[in-house]
Amino acid sequence: MAKKYIDHIEGIDVEVYEYDSYVDTVEDASRLSGEPIERIAKTLILKSDDECIVAIVRGDNRIDMDGLSRYLGKKIRLARPREVKEITGVEIGGVTPISNKIKICRIFMDLAILNHEYIICGGGSRKRLYKVYVVDLIDYLDPIIIDSDIFKPSTK
């Protein structure tokens, strides 16, 4: 059972869902929140040799890493768990896009997220999710919204 409440985080009103169990995957977030996977957003931390990159991806999509590398003109990779913790202050599974620590990175957002009024995303803890309006998240992050084949349907 989730504890639900409204909070004002980084200037954004969010609905907070707190759980007794870990919410480490998109599937966990969907099951526990009762929302479809398409409404879940994963916040992935990527690295190149010279910068941190954040990709906010709809739950049923994945990143074409080679395609994003070509788009950026440099090789990128998923950040290692230690790097994720150094950049965000939280462990993998707890990363939230609603954080000043995320805003220091270059941020890309999956265009498919714009199909929804709100999304469910990580809440800064492995036992917390946020429900946030997409327009508020875009205003907060000012991401580069990619309309290309970089974010593709998952094959899972």
Q: How many residues does the chain have?
A: 156
Residue 57: closest CA among 109, 120, 134: 109
What's the confidence (pLDDT) of residue 90? 92
Mean pLDDT of the chain: 93
Q: What is the pTM for the complete model shown?
A: 0.91
Per-residue model confidence as pLDDT tens digits over 32-85: 999 999 999 999 999 998 899 999 999 999 999 999 999 999 999 999 999 999
What's the confidence (pLDDT) of residue 149? 81
Do 55 and 41 touch, CB atoms closer than 8 A? no
- Which sequence spans correspond to the domains of the chain? 3-153
C-alpha separations of 19 from 2, 80, 121 in Å: 5, 26, 14
Secondary structure element (H or E) that encloses residue 82, with its range: helix 81-88
Instruction: Give the pLDDT band (50/70/90) at residue 19.
Output: very high
The dotted CATH code for 3-153 is: 3.90.960.10
What average pLDDT does this structure show over 4-31? 93
72-77: long-range pairs with CB below 8 Å, 24+ = 72/48, 74/48, 74/49, 74/50, 75/48, 75/49, 76/46, 76/47, 76/48, 77/46, 77/47, 77/48
Q: Distance between CA 152 and CA 97 in Å, rounded?
A: 20
What's the confidence (pLDDT) of residue 148? 72
